Structure 1
Amino acid sequence: MKLKTTAALFTAAWLMALPAVAQDQADLITPIENKLTFVFIPKVIHPWYDVVQAGAEYAVNEMAKRGVEIEMIWDQPPQADVADQNRRIETNIGRQPDGIAVACLDRVTNVQLMNEAVKAGVHVINFNSFCDDAFPFVGPKSSVQDGYDLGEYLAEELGGEGTIAILSGSLTASDHVERIEGFKDALSQHPEMEIVFEQPDNDILDQAITLTENMLQAHPDIDGIFGSNASNPIGAARAVQNAGKAGEIVIVGMDDLPEAVDFVCSGVISALKAQRQWDMGYWTILYLVAMNENHTYPMAHDTGTRFLTQEDCVDK
């Protein structure tokens, strides 16, 4: 025991006697010499993701000016189908790209494959719909607040009473589920408000229209409608307008697709909570580059949301 202690002290004294060597932190960065390939795997083919792609393309062009060449591939299922999305994730892992960006449609199975990608040496980032804290995420980490805010807005518009319908989007998508959770929490503060209809539209516009038409037949005196994704506020607004009930039913929902904004400005939709999906695409590219360069990067970048009402329209 005494000999070990003496040896340890001798080693420590010897190390202290060595001259200090400054380390240039720039040496920690890995220069990008070859073209990078990044694959985006959204939940579904949808105009909402076109805006994400536009932000990503802007970042790709910025990187090109730095001399970093990026090939960006979008591989999304035509419908919100968990098995289809997972097949695409698995296939792209086998291609060994420099990065994969996933919008989670089903947390449990998506995360399993994302972990497999990391084990295979592929950089993985999560955007839009939160998956797991193990992966860097770009987007609103929790969508509960958006649903709550829209529920409170609807309650205020209706004076705290009335019958409500919910178009619930995809039942496995975390952001859709969390918005409904927040919306119901807000309505629970108003006992005179009752949810009489709730159905998934699977993020398909035509389904949202049909569901709303059926709902209006079953509940002709409905007072309010909540749409949990980018498609269903538009579907609800089309059906309500076609039924001649525009302005009679308060519609609130998510996102700022052009048609949805037009419905806000014409008074068919009362309010939207709009995400900043352009930012999601932009920062996802930048962080994937950072991962390949061995830079630091945040594990969570909340891109936020904002309210849109008729007051925001230039020509009301």
Structure 2
Amino acid sequence: MNLRRFLLTCTLLIAACGKTSDKPASASKVTIGVSLLTLQNPFFKVIGDNIAAEAAKHGYEALVVSADGDVARQSNQMKDFIVKKAAAIVLSPADSKGIVPVIQEANAAGIPVFTVDIPCNEPGVKIVTQVATDNFGGGKMAAHAMIEALKGQGGKIGVLDMKQVESCILRVKGFKEVLAAHNATASQKIEIVSELDCGGANDKGYKATEDMLQAQPDLVGIFAINDPGALGARGALEKAGKADKVMIIGFDGQPEGKQAIKDGKIYADPIQFPDKMGIEVVRAFMRHSKGEDLPAQMLIPTSLYRKADGAADPALK
């Protein structure tokens, strides 16, 4: 090799070594394992799609799978991510307590774990950060919407909940806190007389509402922890001929929920921003991978969506 060629080779090597990138050395082979509560719910599909898109921008491949609400299935999915030596694991727990052992396995393997939408606040696990809606604040917003919808009147209301999911627990907790404060001074009190599990699904919300109406035929309101549950409640109320007598407050802001609000079938929703969640959890991983300390929670506020918002929404019919 002559001297000129040698010097040119050294220059190219130095230039190559000087380049920096936030992409992994073998980007196409490095994955972020993502196990979401259920991809049957459009809300989680939006989260998964945005995680995949944002991860691709940074040279990672997101392997997005559905737990279908089954903690055993989710545990097996996480074990698979651990075996594959995923760069990170993102999950929305199907059961915040039941998922603890496999999170601990990921911790022991040195794989950073993030939660999205549904937190895991159980002791004994290491979560880098929890990217989620401010569910407690959203629950408080839902209660204010219920008070507004009833126009100063009291009465009996029901709650369609999902007690195994932490985010839903927080929504109901916030809802109850505001109602308690309202009832402390209001002459017309709003009384929660029934709490039933809607499974976060339309069919279960329908059945739970039927059961609720049989036991409490004089309900004036229902708070459902998500849009599928609220839409199921609406169906049951229509069948019972009580659709115009019971105010429904949902949660989420899925397209179907927003359309129902515009059509006057649901009074209002504290809406979430699943696209932001998906993007922010990947950005949180990138910040963590560069050694940055992150807060324990990264909460995204809700916004109350009423009929007037639906009327002005160009995405709706």
1:145 has 2:137 as partner: yes
Please state if 1:245 is matched with 2:237. Answer: no
**Residues 99-248 of structure 1: pairs in structure 2 closer than 5 A:** 99-132=88-121, 134-140=127-133, 142-158=134-150, 159-169=152-162, 171-191=163-183, 192-248=189-245
Q: Distance in 1 between matches of 2:22 and 2:276?
A: 25
Instruction: Write the distance in 2 (CA, Å) between the matches of 1:208 and 1:153.
Output: 20
Equivalent pair of 1:247/1:267 in contact (CA under 8 Å):
no
Which aligned runs of 4 or more in structure 1 are off by greater than 6 angstroms?
26-30
- Superposed displacement of residue 73, structure 1: 1.1
Rounded to whole Å, the distance in 1 between the matches of 2:272 and 2:312 is 22
AA of the residue aligned to 2:156: T
TM-score normalised by the chain length of structure 2 = 0.81
Distance in 2 between residues matched to 1:62 and 1:71, nearest whole Å: 9
TM-score by length of 1: 0.81
Question: Given the alignment, which residue of 84, 90, 101 partners 1:95?
Answer: 84
Distance 2:164 2:265 in 1: 29
Deviation at 1:297, TM superposition (A): 5.6
Equivalent-residue separation in structure 2 for 1:56 and 1:30 (angstroms): 17
Choose from 264, 279, 284 the match for 1:287.
284
Structure 1 window deviating more from structure 2 (158-167 vs 101-110): it is 101-110
Q: Structure 2 regions of 5+ residues with no counterpart?
A: 1-17, 184-188
Q: CA deviation at 1:218?
A: 3.0
Compute the displacement of 1:271 (Å). 0.8
> Offset of 1:226 from its aligned partner?
0.3
Task: Give matches, 1:78-89, under 5 Å.
Answer: 78=68, 80-89=69-78
Matched, 1:49 2:44: yes
CA drift of 1:134 comes to 4.0
Give 1:37's aligned amino acid.
T
Q: CA deviation at 1:238?
A: 2.2
Measure the CA separation in 1 of the matches of 2:210 and 2:103: 39
C-alpha distance in 2, partners of 1:315/1:147? 24
Q: Quote the Cα distance in structure 1 between the aligned partners of 2:57 and 2:293.
A: 18
Please report how far the alpha carbon of residue 217 of structure 1 lies from its aligned counterpart in structure 2 after TM superposition.
3.1
> How far does residue 61 in structure 1 lie from its aligned partner after superposition?
4.3
Whole-angstrom CA distance in 2 between matches of 1:205 and 1:284: 28
Partner residue in 2 for 1:22 = none
Q: Using CA pairs below 8 Å that are at least 6 residues apart, which structure has the higher relative contact order?
A: 1
Q: What is the letter of the counterpart of residue 224 of structure 1?
A: G
Q: Which runs of 5+ in 1 are unaligned?
A: 1-25
- Supply the distance in 1 between the matched residues of 2:254 and 2:140 (Cα, whole angstroms): 21
- 1:307 shift after superposition: 0.7
Partner of 2:310: 313
Where 1:72 maps in the other structure, the secondary structure is: strand
Contact 1:29 1:295 survives alignment (8 Å): no
Distance 1:28 1:115, change over 3 A: farther
Partner of 2:61: 71
Greater CA radius of gyration, 1 or 2? 1
Compute the RMSD of aligned alpha carbons.
2.4
Kept in 2, the 8 Å contact 1:51–1:278? The answer is yes
Query: 1:52, 1:44 → 2: CA distance?
Result: 11
Contact 2:139 2:171 (8 Å CA) reproduced? yes
* Deviation at residue 246 of structure 1 after TM alignment: 2.8
